[in-house]
Amino acid sequence: MLDYDEEAERYDALRGGEPRAAAAAAAVLSLVPGRARDLLDVACGTGIVTRRFTDRAGLRVTGVDRAASMTRRAAARLPGAVARADSRRLPFADARFDAVVSVWLLHLLSGPQDVRAVVAECARVLRPGGVYITTVHKGASHNVGSDIDAILAARPPSPVPDDPAEVETWAAGHGLLPAGRARFRGHGQGRSPRRTIEDLRRGWFVTLPPGEPLAERFAARLAELPDQDRPRPDPVFSLRAYRKPEHGNPAGAGGDR
């Protein structure tokens, strides 16, 4: 697992910068109801995407992140609108927001229990009629069918905390109904063999711990590929939206907090 406090300084540059942020924000906003007035961005990171949500007139935006270095960068982009908080225990009252967003978060969680906790909190702070929007199956988004992917396919399988079917189940357990989908391109995130080796050696792939013999075997295979600095195609990320009904939970829906 990457240390996101350490990653903060170079996070934006390594992940597509403003073009990727613009694509992500536009896709998220396409799923936010036009009447929404208060939006919470959970795990807002450096705020590079969060800031763009304020482009919609009349939308008040709040960001939270657990990593102190990320929070400081986000606060510089959205002064007075960013707090440090754990996504499993949000510091907000029930039914506080019209939209809650978690982009590139669920895949980082340690397992189903944490995913359930985050979805539960996002549902709790959501007003009736509001939407929860999240990325799903981020790992699969990076598989673009390249020669790099052909090599990485042999690595030990990773858990998929953000499996779409599981996320929908957790959302339904808190009365949230499917309300739309969107996709967006991860501009500038196409992998080259050399960059993939660098990512491998800094802990990007959870089933290939840096320094382990298995990781180095994969690094050696990647180093044999042609065009070491040529990026392969960009990933395409998937968003799912879930709506909280206006009048309580639908029949049969339950869920703990």
Q: What are the structural domain ranges in the chain?
A: 4-143+158-190+234-244
Residue 70 is predicted with a pLDDT of 87
Say yes or no to pLDDT of 255 above 50.
no
For the chain, give the mean pLDDT: 90
Q: Name the percent of the chain lying above pLDDT 70.
A: 89
Tokens encoding 60: 């008040």
pLDDT bin (cut points 50, 70, 90) of residue 242 is very high
Say yes or no to pLDDT of 136 above 80.
yes
Residue 130 is predicted with a pLDDT of 98
Cβ-Cβ contacts under 8 Å for 114 (sequence gap 6 or more): 88, 161
Say yes or no to pLDDT of 247 above 90.
no
Q: Is 193 exposed, middle or buried (0-12, 13-18, 19+ CB in 10 A)?
A: buried
**C-alpha closest to that of 28 among 205, 238, 177:** 238
Cβ-Cβ contacts under 8 Å for 191 (sequence gap 6 or more): 142, 146, 148, 199, 231, 232
Say yes or no to pLDDT of 204 above 70.
yes
CATH architecture of 4-143+158-190+234-244: 3-Layer(aba) Sandwich (3.40)
Say yes or no to pLDDT of 7 above 60.
no
> pTM of the full predicted structure?
0.88
pLDDT in tens, 63-120: 999 999 889 999 999 999 999 999 999 999 999 999 999 999 999 898 899 999 999 9
Q: Which range has the worst mean pLDDT, 39-43, 59-63, 78-82, 253-257?
A: 253-257
